[in-house]
Homo-oligomer: A and B are copies of this chain.
Amino acid sequence: MALTRLDCTKCDRTYAPGVVLNLCTACNAPLFARYDLERAARTLRPEALATRERSMWRYHEVMPVEDPAQWLTLGEGWTPLLPTPRLGARMGMKRVWVKDESGNPTGSFKARGLSAAVTMAKVLGAKAVCLPSAGNAGSALGAYAARGGLEAHVFVPKDIASLFLMETRAYGAHVETVDGLITDAGRICAGLAKEHGWYECATLKEPYRVEGKKTMGYELAEQLGWTLPDVILYPTGGGTGLIGMWKAFEEMETMGLIGSKRPRMVAVQAEGCAPIVKAHAEGKPDAPMWPGATTHAHGLRVPKALGDFLILRAVKESGGTAVAVTEAEIIQGVKDISAAEGLFVAPEGGACVAALRKLQAAGQVTPDESVVVFNTGTGFKYVENMAPLW
């Protein structure tokens, strides 16, 4: 296979693949999978892709597992990129698309990362996996662990919508509710993982979730005829998707699939939890813990992201920005896209719609620019969260 090694994202350390690894043992930073891209480029060609399976595994040359028999798959990825002319027109924009992740297994983009991570966990011999979650990552972990016959442990804030508990437990996962935020859940999870020998799959704490998430970048390019849009709006909690897409663009350029042009990456957060927005505004390379984090868009309620420096670097290098929106703007965003296009999106998707409106009003995007808005999940799982604000 093309996977050759794992590189630390902060120091010079590299690791051989093929063993269970979490963070860099020298500096505790996330690891990135690296491939023999020259080899991958020989077969990862537009004409070859045209006939491949309708899942993220179509890019198997740049995935950690190439053998289809080993994939734990429920059909994740290859989601629609929908032109949204009515929504665009209402904002004075001519070329807006929504990358709609709601149709993924378990109803969110988390399926991509966990399909890749749990597949690798099983390949590497893990028997049990665990992570802290705001809801969707936990249910995706549970689903893929069930698919693979692995034990799963999920740690969630106790104010999580009840739907997530029912769903995740239905997959047979053990779910513990924690009095606190996802960072608190993460601490408890890490402690128990060490104690029991579970493979920790928290955001960026193992190298493969980002490999699943990066396929959003490959799909964007393929769906736009191997070009990229001018602007990407991405709801940013842990930020794995943004980091992953940025990695994907580099890989694609190396393989000659795209040129050097990059979209301006816009990290969208909630005003009640906007560490990346604050750090970006202040020109800092990383983002300190956000005190008293609060938002009903639970996927955005991440007060401290392990990959903060990677998010901020991608935003800066791309000439992009970071935008915070209010709770009311998020809900209005959900309503706007539902009514205009028939898409009942997650509040994280609504946040991006709201952010685009702000950028447009501020002249930070122009009417002719091509814009991709990410909807990272279905609104169905957030009815309990959204109802009081509706």
Q: Which residue of B has the minimal Cβ distance to A144?
A: B342
Q: Is A281 an interface residue (CB 8 A)?
A: no
A103–B75 touching, CB < 8 Å: yes
Known A-B contacts A143-B343, A149-B86; A338 and B170 likewise in contact (beta carbons under 8 Å)? yes
Q: Which residues from B are CB-within-8-Å of A383?
A: 162-163, 166-167
The 8 Å CB contact of A342, one of B104, B146, B390, is: B146
A51–B51 touching, CB < 8 Å: yes
Interface residues in A36-80 (C-beta closer than 8 Å to B): 50-51, 54-55, 73-75, 78-80
Q: Which residues from B are CB-within-8-Å of A334?
A: 170
Copies of this protein chain in the complex: 2
* Minimum Cβ distance to chain B for residue A112 (Å): 13
Interface residues in A81-101 (C-beta closer than 8 Å to B): 82, 86, 100
Q: Which residue of B has the minimal Cβ distance to A170?
A: B338
Q: Which residues from B are CB-within-8-Å of A100?
A: 74-75, 105
Q: Which residues from B are CB-within-8-Å of A74?
A: 80, 82, 100, 341-343
Q: Which residue of B has the minimal Cβ distance to A114?
A: B342
A342–B103 touching, CB < 8 Å: no
Q: Is A34 an interface residue (CB 8 A)?
A: no
A: interface residue count bin? 35 or more
Mark A343-376 against chain B: 1 for CB-CB distance below 8 A, else 0.
1100000000000000000000000000000000
Docked CA distance A80–B340 (Å): 28
Q: Which residues from B are CB-within-8-Å of A35?
A: none
Q: Which residue of B has the minimal Cβ distance to A53?
A: B80
The 8 Å CB contact of A378, one of B55, B73, B107, is: B107
Q: Which residues from B are CB-within-8-Å of A75?
A: 79-80, 82, 100, 103
Q: Which residues from B are CB-within-8-Å of A338?
A: 146, 167, 170-172
Q: Is A278 an interface residue (CB 8 A)?
A: no
Q: Which residues from B are CB-within-8-Å of A162?
A: 383
A380–B142 touching, CB < 8 Å: no
Mark A156-185 against chain B: 1 for CB-CB distance below 8 A, else 0.
000000110011001110000000000000
Q: Which residues from B are CB-within-8-Å of A224?
A: none
Q: Is A300 an interface residue (CB 8 A)?
A: no
Q: Which residue of B has the minimal Cβ distance to A336?
A: B170
The 8 Å CB contact of A167, one of B73, B86, B380, is: B380
* Minimum Cβ distance to chain B for residue A328 (Å): 16
Q: Is A26 an interface residue (CB 8 A)?
A: no
* Minimum Cβ distance to chain B for residue A330 (Å): 14
Q: Which residues from B are CB-within-8-Å of A344?
A: 106, 139, 143, 167, 170-171
A positions within 8 Å CB-CB of B: 50-51, 54-55, 73-75, 78-80, 82, 86, 100, 103-107, 139, 142-147, 149, 162-163, 166-167, 170-172, 334-335, 338-344, 378-381, 383, 386-387, 390
Apart from A86-B146, A86-B147, what 16 extra A-B contacts exist at CB < 8 Å? A55-B80, A75-B100, A75-B103, A144-B342, A145-B342, A146-B338, A146-B341, A163-B383, A166-B387, A167-B379, A167-B380, A170-B338, A170-B344, A171-B339, A171-B342, A380-B380
In the A-B complex, list the 3 residue pairs whose CB atoms are closest, starting with the nearest: A75-B80, A143-B342, A170-B338
